[in-house]
């Protein structure tokens, strides 16, 4: 099974190396832009952002002291990642959605870069440890899955563009649609592993770092 998956990805990468290059370039541009944006924030804006994060940490810490409502974490994870996968799937149904897929992926990269930049800027070395324990593990799952979803959607949209003047049999259209949807669905299901990690592991690390985070953020408030 693993050999088949490895072979599939090798063939897929070689066949769509241009799409991989475009997707990764756009994502890295988004990450870099998000990270540099943190440095461009004025001290007053940074203080307001720190105040907001401090309030969020307080609320999260209080919830952890009582009962953890994992349904909220599950709902938020489904909204962010499964919702994003659905939007990309929908945009990939037509070649007209290709620019919007690229834009959405760039925005996703910007958010990753901005969030990471804020954590490092506010928390320093402690923030790096927090990122390693709470942010990095689920994103090891999220980012590759999202990248593959984007590439599959771009591939489907590109194929639709190439075949726009041809009339395909309904059976071929159904087969292509089923294959496209199945690939996106499998990758979306894999992202559930990251959501489970956020539901059961991240809250405990959040509690562990809550006091440290609040003490660090007080420097900005």
Could you tell me if residue 212 is left (phi over 0), alpha (psi between -120 and 50 degrees) or otherwise beta?
alpha
Which pLDDT band holds residue 217 (cuts at 50, 70, 90)?
A: very low
Q: Would residue 127 count as lying in a domain?
A: yes
Q: Would residue 179 count as lying in a domain?
A: yes
Number of domains in the chain: 1
Tokens of 29: 């541009």
Helix (H, G, I), strand (E, B) or coil at 169: coil
Q: Would residue 39 count as lying in a domain?
A: no
For residue 166, give the H/E element and its range. none
Cα angle 76-39-79, degrees, rounded to a multiple of 5:
10
Helix (H, G, I), strand (E, B) or coil at 107: helix
Which pLDDT band holds residue 191 (cuts at 50, 70, 90)?
A: very high
For residue 220, what are the contacts with CB-CB under 8 A and spacing of at least 6? Answer: 46, 47, 50, 51, 122
**What pLDDT, on a 0 to 100 scale, did the predictor assign at position 206?**
72
Tokens of 11: 């063939």
Q: Would residue 120 count as lying in a domain?
A: yes
Containing domain of residue 84, as a range? 17-30+72-211
The better pLDDT of the pair 195, 68 is held by 195
Q: Would residue 110 count as lying in a domain?
A: yes
Return the minimum-mean-pLDDT range out of 19-33, 46-60, 115-129, 173-187: 46-60
- pLDDT surpassing 80 at residue 45: no
Q: Would residue 61 count as lying in a domain?
A: no
Q: How far apart are CA 157 and CA 150, in angstroms?
A: 10
For residue 173, give the H/E element and its range. helix 170-190
Work out the burial of residue 88: count CB atoms within 10 Å of its CB; fewer than 13 is exposed, 13-18 middle, 19 or more buried: buried
Q: How far apart are CA 38 and CA 50, in angstroms?
A: 12
Provide the 10 A C-beta neighbour count for residue 54: 18
- pLDDT surpassing 90 at residue 65: no
Tokens of 173: 């259209």
Which pLDDT band holds residue 214 (cuts at 50, 70, 90)?
A: low
- Length of the chain in terms of residues written: 221
Which pLDDT band holds residue 140 (cuts at 50, 70, 90)?
A: very high
Q: How far apart are CA 53 and CA 37, in angstroms?
A: 17
Q: Would residue 42 count as lying in a domain?
A: no
Return the minimum-mean-pLDDT range out of 55-59, 75-79, 181-185: 55-59
**What pLDDT, on a 0 to 100 scale, did the predictor assign at position 134?**
82
Provide the 10 A C-beta neighbour count for residue 12: 17
Q: Would residue 221 count as lying in a domain?
A: no
Kindly tell me the sign of the dihedral angle through the C-alpha atoms of 92, 25, 117, 196.
positive
**What pLDDT, on a 0 to 100 scale, did the predictor assign at position 61?**
55
Q: Give the predicted TM-score (pTM) of the model.
A: 0.85
């Amino acid at each position: 099974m693993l050999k088949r998956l490895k072979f599939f990805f090798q063939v897929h990468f070689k066949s769509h190396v241009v799409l991989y290059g475009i997707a990764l370039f756009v994502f890295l541009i988004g990450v870099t832009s998000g990270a540099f944006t943190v440095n461009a924030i004025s001290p007053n804006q940074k203080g307001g952002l720190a105040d907001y994060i401090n309030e969020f940490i307080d609320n999260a810490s209080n919830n952890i002291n009582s009962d953890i409502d994992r349904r909220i974490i599950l709902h938020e994870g489904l909204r962010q990642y499964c919702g994003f996968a659905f939007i990309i799937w929908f945009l990939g149904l037509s070649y007209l959605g290709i620019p919007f897929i690229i834009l959405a992926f760039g925005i996703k990269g910007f958010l990753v870069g901005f969030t990471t930049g804020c954590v490092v800027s506010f928390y320093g070395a402690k923030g790096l440890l927090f990122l390693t324990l709470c942010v990095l593990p689920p994103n090891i799952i999220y980012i590759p899955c999202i990248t593959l979803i984007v590439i599959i959607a771009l591939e489907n949209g590109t194929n639709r563009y190439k075949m726009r003047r041809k009339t395909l049999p309904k059976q071929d259209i159904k087969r292509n649609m089923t294959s496209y949807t199945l690939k996106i669905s499998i990758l979306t299901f894999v992202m559930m592993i990251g959501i489970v990690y956020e539901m059961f592991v991240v809250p405990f690390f959040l509690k562990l770092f809550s006091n440290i985070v609040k003490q660090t953020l007080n420097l900005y408030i």
